[in-house]
Amino acid sequence: MQQIINFLIKYRNLLLYLSLLLIALVFTVQSHSYHRNSFVHSTGNITGSFLNSRNGIYEYLNLKDENDRLRKENALLRMKALVTADTLLGDETTFLFADDIPYRVFPSRVIKNGYSKRDNFITLDIGREQGVEPDMGVITTDGILGIIDISSSRFSRVISILNSEVSLNAQIKGSNVIGSLTWDGSDPYVMSLVDVPRLAKVTKGDTIVTGKQSTTFPPDILIGTIKDAQLVENGSRYKIDVALFNDMTDVGTAYVIKSRDVKPLHVIDTLTISSNE
């Protein structure tokens, strides 16, 4: 208490000056409209700046939740796009198959991405608890990413398309020309479409998409464009260089696709094989 009294005595002149100044400002603002408007405008700017900064902080803190919400919305749009055979691709909210929707789409984050080895893998932050199983296809907004290899309760490993063991059914968009999409382990931006017949119409710049014979991916998912084409095997077939739409060195959000018909198709294939034996 004595310290407070000493402080007031020591700075009594300054405190008196500040008090009188404050009283003068209050009377001035109240008695003159110009000063009152200027004061309100200035305090409004200060308050607005403070609230804007506060909202910016809140938005940053809520960024993860906002990103999760956007991933779910994008997945829903992609699933609807697949129904209309739209190559733009997209989640679903019920995780139940509808009669007119043959796919379920699960949004996820890439937490590990390999692209510098000959056989590369990708890790996602969803697993069996979210309904993810081996052999499901994985895509991004720009194209295909790979195939689920292993699923734990909370994580999944994806065999990247940049893997020498991968061979995917693909075709030239707008035609029935199909081939096998492979990677030679060199350029992460280019894959090869092989086993394309010599009589096929191959034009530089044509778009390559997933084929209708694939049970892993929906048809017409974008892959890339024809960069170059050469006849091989004594001129009987083409080897086509495909420039990928997907930047495999920079992936963040991925979508896992589950086909409603993949198991029935496998059963049919098994019955066909058994009947031929």
User: CATH number of the domain that 180 lies in?
Assistant: 2.40.10.340
Is residue 112 pLDDT above 80, yes or no?
Answer: yes
DSSP 8-state code for residue 135: T
123 lies in the same domain as 168: yes
What tokens does 46 get? 């200060």
Average pLDDT over residues 8-33: 70
**Distance between CA atoms of 62 and 60, rounded to whole angstroms?**
5
More confident residue, 68 or 20: 20
92 lies in the same domain as 131: yes
124 lies in the same domain as 11: no
Helix orientation angle between 63-83 and 33-61, rounded to the nearest 10 degrees: 70
Report if residue 242 sits inside a domain: yes
pLDDT attached to residue 77: 60
pLDDT attached to residue 218: 85
Q: For 174-213, how does the pLDDT look when each residue is reduced to its tens digit (9 = 90+)?
A: 898 999 999 999 999 999 999 999 999 999 999 999 988 8
pLDDT attached to residue 142: 87
230 lies in the same domain as 119: yes
Q: Side chain identity at 213, as an amino acid letter? A: Q
Confidence class for position 165, pLDDT limits 50, 70, 90: very high
Report if residue 257 sits inside a domain: yes
pLDDT attached to residue 273: 38
pLDDT attached to residue 98: 41
**Distance between CA atoms of 157 and 154, rounded to whole angstroms?**
11
28 lies in the same domain as 85: no
57 lies in the same domain as 189: no
User: Are the CB atoms for 244 and 225 separated by under 8 Å?
Assistant: no
Report if residue 45 sits inside a domain: yes
- Collapsing DSSP to helix, strand or coil, 146 comes out as strand
Q: What percent of the chain has pLDDT over 70?
A: 64
- Torsion over CA: 242, 248, 252, 254 (sign): positive
Is residue 230 pLDDT above 50, yes or no?
Answer: yes
134 lies in the same domain as 230: yes
Confidence class for position 107, pLDDT limits 50, 70, 90: confident
- Please count the structural domains in the chain: 2
Confidence class for position 119, pLDDT limits 50, 70, 90: very high
pLDDT attached to residue 215: 77
Is residue 2 pLDDT above 90, yes or no?
Answer: no
Average pLDDT over residues 26-41: 55
Is residue 5 pLDDT above 90, yes or no?
Answer: no
User: Are the CB atoms for 162 and 115 separated by under 8 Å?
Assistant: yes
162 lies in the same domain as 244: yes
Report if residue 277 sits inside a domain: no
Residue with tokens 């991916």, as numbered in its chain? 217
CB atoms within 10 A of CB 95: 12
Pairing of strands 137-139, 168-172: unpaired
Report if residue 195 sits inside a domain: yes
More confident residue, 100 or 254: 254
55 lies in the same domain as 123: no
Mean pLDDT of the chain: 76
36 lies in the same domain as 16: yes
Contacts of 127 (CB under 8 A, 6+ apart): 151, 152, 153, 154, 155, 156
More confident residue, 7 or 129: 129
Average pLDDT over residues 87-111: 58
Q: Where are the alpha helices (DSSP H) in the chain?
A: 2-10, 12-31, 33-61, 63-83, 262-276
157 lies in the same domain as 86: yes
89 lies in the same domain as 224: yes
Buried b (16+ CB within 10 A) or exposed e, 239-266: bbbbbbbbebeebebbbbbbbeebeeee
Written as one string, the DSSP assignment of 39-70 is: HHHHHHHHHHHHHHHHHHHHHHHTHHHHHHHH
User: Are the CB atoms for 243 and 227 separated by under 8 Å?
Assistant: yes
- Collapsing DSSP to helix, strand or coil, 136 comes out as coil
Strand runs labelled E in 85-142 = 103-113, 119-124, 137-139
Domain that holds residue 248: 64-269
Average pLDDT over residues 62-75: 60
pLDDT attached to residue 262: 55
Q: With 0-12 CB in 10 A as exposed, 13-18 as middle and 19+ as buried, what is 35?
A: middle
